Structure 1
Amino acid sequence: MSKKRYCIAAFAIFLLSSFSLVLLHDWEITGEHIIKFEGKYAHGVFEKLSGSIVFDPDHPATSKFDVEVDVNSINTGNELKDKHARSEKWFDAGRYPVIRFVSSGISRLDSAYIVRGDLQLHGVTRQISIPFVFVQDSGKAVFKGSFKVNRGDFGIGKISGKESDSTAVVLSVPVIAR
């Protein structure tokens, strides 16, 4: 075999092995996810989450999150509050039907990770950081994290400048390897 063929064969092997590494760390979001929120004025869950997650716990810098929450899937346990939350006064689900997060970087912090990225909510995009843990067992795994969102940063509701402007969000996102 000539040198040129060896180079082409080596490049092809490298390309194929790189592709399969990405596939090994592609995760599918299961229906058992939990997105809880709690603030002074409301608490509840968002029931619909979709998107793509490519995550390698050994190489977090090569990982990527691009996920969306369906605003209309809000469930506070009170239909009147749900209707109000979907209205123009809060989320304005008619104009902004999804909350989207796209990562820009992921790093390890001791036994946990921090994902930084753009959170798009109510037509406004802000960079946030979300600390999380990743627990993996037998092809199944779960991402767990929590953070706070200041609704004033996204133009939602009347702002008081107090702690009540923030909403705590707790995530538990089970995934299975694709």
Structure 2
Amino acid sequence: MKKQLFFLLLILPTAFAFPIWNTWSISDDYEVRFSGSGAEGTFRGLTGTVVFNPDQLGQAQFDVSVDATTIDTGNKTKDKHARGKDWFDVEQYPEIKFRSSQITKVGEQYQMTGTLTLHGTEKEITFPFTFTENGSSGLFEGSFTVDREEYGIEGPFISFMVGDDFEVSLKVPVQSSSAK
């Protein structure tokens, strides 16, 4: 009995020394929107891992992907073209991926740096975001600009009708995985 008590007293303090990470599940009512000259719409199929605690940014990790086949411009003909070889080529590149490498606090916001993989091309991007926590739920919001040509998305010969830069805005409600 004394050995068990001694062991418990030895181990108990170390249990509180480990960081508390918050793992979040992405809720179904998220928004992944894009807009630019000549095209706008949404993507569905957002999945991945979100580990975020504002007090432990060094442990934060975002490893998420979007199903590129779900592009929705509100026009079935545009959607078909966007999925085709001249644009997203979803047969060869079915996912758009992002993996964070660093998150810092800047004023009342956060700044995330990571690798965006789009159309088979990886580029490092940095963008601001906010996080609003409400008990066991939260909301991540942010936006960044993508130059489609930097990712090898050239489009057909009439692609000049569509701008190069697209604003991507994210509104991602989350639920604490431990609250499920």
- State TM-score, norm by structure 1: 0.87
Report the equivalent of 1:106: 103
- 1:47 correspondence with 2:44: yes
Report the equivalent of 1:156: 153
**Alpha-carbon deviations, 1:108-161, whole Å to 9, x = none?**
001110110000000000000121000011211000001100111101025999
After superposition, where does 1:54-93 map in structure 2 within 5 Å? Answer: 54-93=51-90
Report the equivalent of 2:125: 128
Aligned pairs, how many? 171
Deviation at 1:13, TM superposition (A): 5.2
Identity rate, percent: 37
- 1:143 correspondence with 2:140: yes
Counterpart of 2:163 in structure 1: which amino acid?
S
Does the residue aligned with 2:143 lie in a helix, a strand or coil?
strand
Q: Where does the alignment leave 5 or more consecutive residues of structure 1 unmatched? A: none
Deviation at 1:107, TM superposition (A): 0.4
Q: Give the structure with the larger helix fraction.
A: 1
Does the residue aligned with 2:77 lie in a helix, a strand or coil?
helix
Displacement over 3 Å in runs of 4+ = 158-161
Provide the C-alpha distance between the structure 1 equivalents of 2:16 and 2:148, rounded to a whole number of angstroms: 45
Q: Where does the alignment leave 5 or more consecutive residues of structure 2 unmatched? A: none
Counterpart of 2:169 in structure 1: which amino acid?
V
Provide the C-alpha distance between the structure 2 equivalents of 1:15 and 1:51, rounded to a whole number of angstroms: 28
Deviation at 1:16, TM superposition (A): 7.2
Provide the C-alpha distance between the structure 2 equivalents of 1:177 and 1:100, rounded to a whole number of angstroms: 22
Report the equivalent of 2:31: 34
Report the equivalent of 2:18: 18
Provide the C-alpha distance between the structure 1 equivalents of 2:77 and 2:25, rounded to a whole number of angstroms: 33
Provide the C-alpha distance between the structure 2 equivalents of 1:128 and 1:102, rounded to a whole number of angstroms: 10
Does the residue aligned with 2:79 lie in a helix, a strand or coil?
helix
Deviation at 1:173, TM superposition (A): 0.3
**Alpha-carbon deviations, 1:38-82, whole Å to 9, x = none?**
011210000210000000111212100000000011110000010
Provide the C-alpha distance between the structure 1 equivalents of 2:126 and 2:87, rounded to a whole number of angstroms: 23
| Alpha-carbon distance change, 15 to 120 in structure 1, aligned in 2, over 3 angstroms | farther
